[in-house]
Amino acid sequence: MPARSESAELDAAVEAIVKGVYDSGALYDPHRWWPRSYLPYSPLFAADFHSQWLDQWREIPRQGAERYARSTAIWVLLAMASRSLKTLFDEKERMSVFLALLDDIRSAKAGDPFCRDGRHLVLMDDEAQAIVDRLSFADATDRPTDRAYAGLNATLLAFSEAVFFSANCTVREVHGPYLVHYDGEPRQLLVRDYYRLRDQALEVETADVSYDAIRTYSLYDETVRFEFTVLNDYTSDQPLGTAAVAHAAELWRGDEVSAAEDVVVVGEATAALSATIAAVGARIADTSPVDETVEIVRRTYYRASPIAEAVGGKWEPRPEFILDFRVALGDFHATTPPSMTRREFGVMVDPRK
């Protein structure tokens, strides 16, 4: 039986997963992922995926998760793996894996690892303040400027969805709100961090995108209520785009970073991303449902590629597994995700039960 503090830690972790996956509606929205939800197909590949992933993860020296992945990516893996852990290990071993993952998450975050205060923090507030002090922000009360930055943020979200399909969470980290001051007023800073934008591992059509990473910064009035969960999705009672006070963005090409301080630069970045989105969409439209599903599985494996890179390995489904998967797919009739209560979901992801 876990020690009391350890038990409280596990309670908090399970509640965080339930909040992020079940309460958010992510689990039951069949249209959550583009081009199709991988959830109905997950029984066909989950065991293979998680056993391979855990084998590689165990080889990584435990020196801090920031070395190989962002906290959201680890949370996604933990939420996905919690069910498979029960089929792969006995209670003692799955508890050790679960707790080790929580340690990784804790070391990758600056704030509460379970976002119990509604904040998802990977920076300290003073680090965020230094960013605000360093950058020139554009006035969000100027309608065209606000729309330009909102368009860039929406396009980055769509880009990550288009290029990485259901693995999009591994290339974005939306974090905050950081409590800062701007022009002498208390503000909240949200950071939308999109990285690995030109990653060629999936042979995607990113040739027209010259940015390796784009990070946007938006300042909000202190009254806007954010509610981040561990899985990096957040809700607000107010439409975010129109509630912002000021925006800024930084564009990375290799180690070179440039600030996007006007709508022309923001528009150019948005257009380049949009062209890639259209190219990927056109290719998917010409792909058979079976090939599309196989590709989704391949990209689901891609979630764990930073872990493989950390140990000098390569993360991809085994060719023989893809063959087996194609065969199994022929007899498998995809359904919507199974219905379950909040409590049932909590039991499913709890490593103690």
Cα separation, 142 vs 154, in Å, equals: 18
Cα separation, 7 vs 2, in Å, equals: 6
How many other C-beta atoms are found inside a 10 Å radius of the C-beta of residue 258? 12
Least Å distance, CB 97 to another protein, is 28
Q: Which of 307, 351, 345, 298 is nearest to 326 (CA)?
A: 298
Least Å distance, CB 198 to another protein, is 17
Please choose, out of 58-66, 89-97, 231-239, 320-328, the segment that lies near another protein by the rule CB under 8 A: 231-239
For residue 336, what is the DSSP state? P
Residues in 5-64 that interact with another protein by CB under 8 A? 24-26, 28-32, 34-35
For residue 20, what is the DSSP state? I
Please choose, out of 71-79, 178-186, 238-246, 332-340, the segment that lies near another protein by the rule CB under 8 A: 238-246
Does residue 186 sit in helix, strand or coil?
strand
Of 108 and 163, the one with the shorter C-beta distance to another protein is 163
Residue length, the chain? 353
Of 56 and 155, the one with the shorter C-beta distance to another protein is 155
Helix (H) or strand (E) holding 16: helix 4-17
Return the residue of 11, 227, 233, 309 that touches another protein, per CB under 8 A.
233
Least Å distance, CB 241 to another protein, is 3
Are 218 and 238 in contact by the 8 Å Cβ rule? The answer is: no
Least Å distance, CB 165 to another protein, is 10
Q: Is 246 in the site for another protein (CB under 8 A)?
A: no
Cα separation, 220 vs 325, in Å, equals: 47
Least Å distance, CB 349 to another protein, is 18
Q: Which of 80, 115, 99, 114 is nearest to 7 (CA)?
A: 99
Of 133 and 142, the one with the shorter C-beta distance to another protein is 142
Least Å distance, CB 231 to another protein, is 10
Question: In degrees, to the nearest 5, what angle opens at C-alpha 147 toward C-alphas 141 and 152?
Answer: 130
Residues in 281-300 that interact with another protein by CB under 8 A? 281
In this structure, is the dihedral angle defined by the CA atoms of residues 257, 263, 266 and 267, taken in order, positive or negative? negative
**Longest Cα separation, the chain:** 63
Phi–psi pair at 33, nearest 5 degrees: -115, 150
Return the residue of 224, 243, 310, 334 that touches another protein, per CB under 8 A.
243
Task: For 45-94, give the DSSP string.
Answer: HHHHHHHHHHHHHTTS-SS-GGGT--HHHHHHHHHHHHHHHHHHS-HHHH
Least Å distance, CB 55 to another protein, is 31
For residue 68, what is the DSSP state? T
Are 133 and 126 in contact by the 8 Å Cβ rule? The answer is: no
Return the residue of 239, 254, 312, 330 that touches another protein, per CB under 8 A.
239
Least Å distance, CB 321 to another protein, is 28
Are 201 and 302 in contact by the 8 Å Cβ rule? The answer is: yes
Of 25 and 64, the one with the shorter C-beta distance to another protein is 25
Residues in 73-132 that interact with another protein by CB under 8 A? none
Residues in 169-208 that interact with another protein by CB under 8 A? none
Are 101 and 156 in contact by the 8 Å Cβ rule? The answer is: no
Return the residue of 277, 294, 307, 349 that touches another protein, per CB under 8 A.
277
Of 54 and 230, the one with the shorter C-beta distance to another protein is 230
Least Å distance, CB 105 to another protein, is 22
Residues in 122-161 that interact with another protein by CB under 8 A? 147, 150-151, 153-155, 157-159, 161
Which residues here bind another protein, judged by CB under 8 A?
24-26, 28-32, 34-35, 147, 150-151, 153-155, 157-159, 161-162, 233, 236, 239-243, 274, 277-278, 280-281
